[in-house]
């Protein structure tokens, strides 16, 4: 979840009119576009595969402290506990269940993204070897039960935890036991952003499934390719999933603003204290305030970080729907989206692949594909065939961008995944299950998941 650091509330009260051009101000010319990666990972005891705690020398807090000591990160604390790190424009943040997340600074090329991720993984591995910890990159925690997961001691998460306890049967599982690889990208204009959002929402069922990597949960085979997606579908529906207007092929910045204003609020920050808002919508907060508090621009910035659709609009676009991948496949996520979103031609081609599907068909596929897999029929085509068409377009997009050297480099991030899975109508989850089923019951950890360790 996005780290939000506010030293003081903006003084000026805002009105709806102040927000009408909010998203348009962030448009950038293409030459200024950057790519951002966010990668979440689970820390486990090397000997047992169980989650490490937050507190203690061999817990998450100890890991963060070691990163500070060994690799020149600077710590952020809350109530004297380390809850994040920063180094330059890179951030290391924590998800509510102690998942460690690299939020890498935006860069120009996929090669730089790859270097950022590999560098951080080397640091984590160095610290882990010292503390007896290993790092698992997968979409859902495969072994631990809910009561075995830690809660990171952040006021933000405590307020969310209380609110979400009654908003979605799987909301706490989402907070504690899921992990993603998220792709962030800039936009040139409102029409450009809307094309990206429409495409992302319309193809998300197929891409969730193509990158499905979470068939295990609580030590058993779930029957799902992406149990992480199943968890998310059981999370607060007011703020997650698909947004109908965009998935139906419409939408505008004004409509996204209207959507955001209608989402219940978790909190605001005043004098460095987190203030629960008891679920009033931002629209109502704008109109009437909450006790002595009135809405500010910083409140709206914070509110946007608590909305979790599969494509989130902020000062850039965040594509959020994919399971965390095994280390060697992480860059395939980012290469796929870079290629597909490369230019107007690839955007149109992607939309054409799914142009005959109605919103209700997309919603049904979003619900069913993570369970039924790529063999399920979407129309006359299987989901696997549609996914392959989308990956073909992405590979074409990577071949049309930059110089010959960068084209070759970028395609190299996606082609192995394409050959290993997409062309064969398989998913990473299929490989997890193959390894799991051929491994004896007393040797599931770590043998069956060895390729998912950094």
324-377 pLDDT tens trace: 999 999 999 999 999 999 999 999 999 999 999 999 999 999 999 999 999 999
Alpha carbons 240 and 234: distance in angstroms, whole number: 9
Asked if 38 and 116 touch (Cβ cutoff 8 Å), the reply is no
With bands split at pLDDT 50, 70 and 90, how would you rate the model's confidence at 400? confident
The CA distances from residue 82 to 58, 61, 360, in Å, are 14, 6, 45
Q: Return d(Cα 351, Cα 400) in angstroms, integer.
A: 18
Residue 160 has pLDDT above 60, yes or no: yes
- Is the confidence at residue 8, as pLDDT, over 70? no
Q: Is residue 9 predicted with pLDDT exceeding 50?
A: no
* The pLDDT value given to residue 403: 72
Asked if 1 and 95 touch (Cβ cutoff 8 Å), the reply is yes
pLDDT digits (tens, 9 = 90+) for 91-130: 999 999 999 999 999 999 999 999 999 999 999 999 999 9
Mean pLDDT, rounded, for 380-395: 97
Position 442 scores a pLDDT of 77
pLDDT band with cut points at 50, 70 and 90 for residue 3: low
Q: What is the pTM of this model?
A: 0.95
pLDDT one-digit tens code per residue, 24-35: 999 999 999 999
Is residue 80 packed enough to be buried (19+ CB in 10 Å), middle (13-18) or exposed (0-12)?
exposed
Mean pLDDT of 393-401: 92
Assess whether pLDDT exceeds 60 at residue 7.
no
Residue 424 confidence (pLDDT) above 80: yes
Predicted confidence (pLDDT) at residue 6 exceeds the cutoff of 70: no
Percent share of the chain, pLDDT over 70: 97
Domains of the chain (ranges, CATH numbers):
17-263+307-422 (3.30.590.20)
> Does residue 286 register a pLDDT over 90?
yes
d(CA 215, CA 169): 19
């Amino acid at each position: 979840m996005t780290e939000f650091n506010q030293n003081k509330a903006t003084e000026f009260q805002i009105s709806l009119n102040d927000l009408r051009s909010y998203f348009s101000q962030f448009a950038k010319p293409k030459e200024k576009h950057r790519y951002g990666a966010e990668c979440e990972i689970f820390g486990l005891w090397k000997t047992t595969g169980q989650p490490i705690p937050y507190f203690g020398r061999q817990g998450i807090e100890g890991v963060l402290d070691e990163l500070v000591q060994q690799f020149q990160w600077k710590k952020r604390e809350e109530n004297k506990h380390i809850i994040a790190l920063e180094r330059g424009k890179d951030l290391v943040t924590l998800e509510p269940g102690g998942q460690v997340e690299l939020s890498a600074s935006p860069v120009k090329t996929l090669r730089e993204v790859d270097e950022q991720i590999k560098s951080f993984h080397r640091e984590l591995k160095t610290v882990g070897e010292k503390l007896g910890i290993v790092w698992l990159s997968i979409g859902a925690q495969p072994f631990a039960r809910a009561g075995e997961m830690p809660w990171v001691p952040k006021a933000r998460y405590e307020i969310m935890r209380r609110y979400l306890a009654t908003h979605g049967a799987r909301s706490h599982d989402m907070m504690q036991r899921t992990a993603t690889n998220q792709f962030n990208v800039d936009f040139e204009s409102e029409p450009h952003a809307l094309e990206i959002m429409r495409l992302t929402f319309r193809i998300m069922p197929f891409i969730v499934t193509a990158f499905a990597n979470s068939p295990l949960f609580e030590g058993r085979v779930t029957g799902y390719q992406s149990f992480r997606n199943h968890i998310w579908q059981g999370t607060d529906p007011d703020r997650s999933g698909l947004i109908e207007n965009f998935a139906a092929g419409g939408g505008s910045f004004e409509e996204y603003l209207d959507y955001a204003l209608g989402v219940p609020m978790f909190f605001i920050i005043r004098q460095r204290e987190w203030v629960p808002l008891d679920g009033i919508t931002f629209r109502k907060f704008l109109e009437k305030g909450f006790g002595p508090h009135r809405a500010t621009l910083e409140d709206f910035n914070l509110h946007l970080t608590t909305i979790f659709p599969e494509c989130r609009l902020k000062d850039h676009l965040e594509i959020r729907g994919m399971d965390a991948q095994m280390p060697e496949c992480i860059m395939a996520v980012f290469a796929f989206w870079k290629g597909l979103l490369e230019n107007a031609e690839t955007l149109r081609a992607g939309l054409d692949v799914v142009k005959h599907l109605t919103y209700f068909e997309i919603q049904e596929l979003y619900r069913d594909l993570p369970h039924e897999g790529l063999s399920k029929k979407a129309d006359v085509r299987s989901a696997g065939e549609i996914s392959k068409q989308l990956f073909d377009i992405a590979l074409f997009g990577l071949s049309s961008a930059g110089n010959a050297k960068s084209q070759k480099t970028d395609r190299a991030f996606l082609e192995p995944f394409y050959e290993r899975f997409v062309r064969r109508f398989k998913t990473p989850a299929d490989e997890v299950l193959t390894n799991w089923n051929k491994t004896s019951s007393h040797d599931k950890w770590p043998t069956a998941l060895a390729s998912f360790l950094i």
